Amino acid sequence: MRSGIFENSKDQLAFKAFDLKAQGSMIRDMLLVDINNDDRVDSLTLGNFFGSSIDEGRYGEYYGTVLLNTSEGW
């Protein structure tokens, strides 16, 4: 399973997977915003989740990733 976004293009949704560098652990939160002021929506992903059960353990190894949207994708 991969993390990514669904892009709406011509009234059809297309799944765009994030780079493998952003797949280190579970993504808990995501903020879509133009981080570098280039008129493209970028993504700030955040991880770390300590509310899981004892059987699952903690998801504390992923602090987050900034994904800059370029003309070639994320």
Which of the two residues, 32 and 53, has the higher pLDDT score? Answer: 32
Token digits of residue 29: 């939160």
Q: How far is 65 from 43, CA to CA, in rounded Å?
A: 8
Is pLDDT at 18 greater than 90 in this prediction? Answer: no
pLDDT on residue 35: 93
Q: What are the extents of the domains in the chain?
A: 24-74
Q: For 37-73, write each residue's pLDDT tens digit.
A: 999 999 888 776 666 566 666 556 667 788 898 878 7
Checking if the pLDDT of 28 tops 80, the result is no
Q: Are 67 and 40 in contact, with CB atoms under 8 Å apart? A: no
pLDDT at site 13? 94
pTM for this entry: 0.65
